[in-house]
Amino acid sequence: MNVVRSNRPKVGVIKYSEIIVIGSGIAGMFAALRLAPRKVTLLTKTPSLTGGSTAWAQGGIAGAVGLTDSPQEHASDTILAGAGLNVSSAVEVLTTEGADRLNELISMGAPFDRDEKGQIILGREAAHGQRRIVHAGGDSTGHHIHKWLSNIVSKTPSIEVKESAFAWELVVSNNHICGVLVYQYKEGWVFHKAPFVVLATGGSGQLFSATTNPSEATADGLAMAIRAGLKVADLEFVQFHPTALSSSRTSKGLPMPLITEALRGEGATLHNSKGQRFMKDVHPEAELAPRDIVARSIWERLIEGEKVYLDVREVLSQNLNNRFPTVQSICVEAGIDPKTEMIPVAPAAHYHMGGIAADESGRTSLQGLWVCGEVASTGAHGANRLASNSLLEGVVFGHRVAEDIPQKQTYSINNAEVYVPIIPELSKKIALEKLTQGLRKLMYEKVGLRRSASGLELAIASHEKLANEIDDLEARKSQKSPTFVQVRKWGELRNLALVGHLVTIASLKRCESRGAHYRTDFPNLEPRLATRKYFTYEDINTNSDSEGTSFDGTKRESKNAISSYL
């Protein structure tokens, strides 16, 4: 939390910006574009704008743009999937303005798929009552939309892009953002000063050994916000996608290829080792049940030693305008012919409903800081995100954040001072990769699809041990001239360790099963617990938290004990 170390030198390179956007996914880029012609510095830790989770999204963008659809029906489906924790005003914004933003993207020339008559093709996915999903390039929507947006951003004069720039710490003075400390590939440590900052850093999928998220999804923005004292919400709710390709990639720490939910929307079915369909006995909607139900049903069979397969043969035989080239490609790469063989699948961490608490305009509990996309928790998704609402969320709230940022600076940032962080000089015997992979394996096994008090407490003890190891390493000799890779790897481990610990604490505290959060020792949904949970770094250290409060801390109803960190 911006602790000043008197024995550390001050950061010498200072750069001024009108507005800083951190993150180059759909939320960050759309916000930056909507801020034009105001001057924006867009920071991304990846070597190009095309990094992040957006480019990996096979599913499409949901929106009530069909003739028989409505934002109200979209909202109803979103709330049903959210298991009683959605904030109704945020859902209304998402679905009502979502239709407007989607039509806007269409009018801008977004490369959405069309039929022979030139009409936008609408698909259906699990828990949607209507065909309302638009795709681009079949099952590679994220890639096509991200590439299209990044080209526009690159050509926008008001946006200065800083690539290979790892955001280390939010700089705060008198409860107001002053900028961000960044390590840049060529410049080293740079203090980017600005009165307004937008965090659009994505999710935390790399907390888990099995994930569909790319390597950069390491909870950086969420960890920075926690250290800066911001209020966070609903960290226990992590969505696992039911159908990721089961392969050796998991043990290698690589993201698992996603087998898009759109296939099940078109009729693909799930089968056990005997070739029998099992979802018909689990839920009335069978394979189109909400993601948490499908994912747990698959997981239960896997831990019993069975294998689970997705049968897409009939779907692919119908061609469907070659809508699934990505799935076919990744299967062939894994030695599977999906036109003649069933695909082995397993659940993988996919999306974090929890995050930095924000209102419908992306405002946080820290003045001058806005958030949008997966790093934010507005309550729009509740306890379980509805399929294809994530890219929509990035566009809707990226736009809203840009609209809400004041036109004039009202706060002086000249008094902020920043010191060079400690990057320990590590020997080859200390493998950061080993520490990181151990954390990820622990999270998947103990804080994954099925949780219990005993497993969560074991995880907390392991987190505390890891935190002590990190402290011990930081107490060693500091590296004077670290490389970008060293700073990034060390920073990502710190961020994952902190957020993983807090996700575990939040999971232990919710003594029920709701949405994506399932406790074997509390298997039922408890109506009396239908409340969101908020806390800050200070709450952790003072053994308290708040339930049912708004993002800014009003309407506090109760306080409960919470485990200490470190």
In this predicted model, what pLDDT tens digit does every residue of 448-475 receive, in sequence order? 999 999 999 999 999 999 999 888 888 8
How many Cβ atoms from other residues are within 10 Å of residue 199's Cβ? 34
The SS3 assignment for 271 reads: strand
Mean pLDDT of all residues in 3-17: 78
**179 vs 560, more confident:** 179
Q: Which percentage of the chain shows pLDDT scores above 90?
A: 73
Q: Which two tokens stand for residue 222?
A: 């969420």
* CB distance 149 to 30 below 8 Å: yes
Helix %, strand %, coil % for the chain, to 5? 35, 20, 45
Q: Which two tokens stand for residue 450?
A: 């099925």
Q: Give 250-268 pLDDT, tens digit per residue.
A: 555 578 888 988 899 889 9
In the DSSP assignment, the letter for residue 277 is B
Quote the pLDDT of residue 166.
Answer: 98
Question: What pLDDT score does 546 carry?
Answer: 61
Q: What is the pLDDT of residue 249?
A: 53
Q: Which CATH superfamily is domain 13-237+351-404 in?
A: FAD/NAD(P)-binding domain (3.50.50.60)
Give the helix ranges, DSSP H, for 6-137: 26-35, 71-81, 88-92, 98-108
Strand partners, 466: none
In 353-438, beta strands by DSSP E: 355-357, 369-371, 376-377
What is the model's pLDDT at position 337? Answer: 94
In the predicted structure, residue 358 carries a pLDDT above the cut 50: yes
HSE-up of residue 251 (Cα within 13 Å, Cβ side): 2
Q: What is the pLDDT of residue 562?
A: 26
**Which active-site residues does the annotation give?**
291
pLDDT given for residue 549 in this prediction: 45
In whole angstroms, how far apart are CA 295 and each of 178, 448, 454? Answer: 42, 11, 22
Pairing between β-strand 133-134 and β-strand 122-123 as defined by DSSP bridges? antiparallel
As given in the structure block, the two tokens for residue 6 are 């008197």
Average pLDDT over residues 171-193: 95
Residue 555 has pLDDT above 60, yes or no: no
What average pLDDT score do residues 357-375 get? 97
pLDDT at 70: 96
Mean pLDDT of the chain: 89
Q: Residue 512 carries which DSSP code?
A: S
Identify the three-state secondary structure at position 321. helix
pLDDT at 320: 59
**For residue 542, pLDDT beyond 80:** no
| CATH number among 3.40.50.300, 3.90.700.10, 4.10.140.10, 3.40.920.10, domain 243-348 | 3.90.700.10
DSSP 257: P
Is the model's pLDDT at 200 over the cut of 90?
A: yes
> Cα–Cα distance between 31 and 24 in angstroms, integer?
10
Distance separating alpha carbons of residues 503 and 260, to the nearest angstrom: 26
174: left (phi over 0), alpha (psi -120 to 50) or beta: left
Residue 21 has pLDDT above 90, yes or no: yes
Q: What is the pLDDT of residue 475?
A: 82
∠ at Cα 115 (114, 118), nearest 5°? 70
Q: How confident is the model at residue 133 (pLDDT cuts 50, 70, 90)?
A: very high
CA pair distance 494, 484, nearest whole angstrom? 15
- The ranges assigned to domains in the chain are 13-237+351-404, 243-348, 432-527
Structure tokens at 226: 């926690």
Would the CA dihedral through 382, 346, 458, 351 be positive or negative? Answer: negative
Q: Which CATH architecture has domain 432-527?
A: Up-down Bundle (1.20)
Q: 110-119, 211-220, 310-319, 421-430: which range is least confident on average?
A: 421-430
Which amino acid belongs to residue 341? E
In terms of residues, how long is the chain? 566
Prior bond of 284 cis (ω within 30°):
no
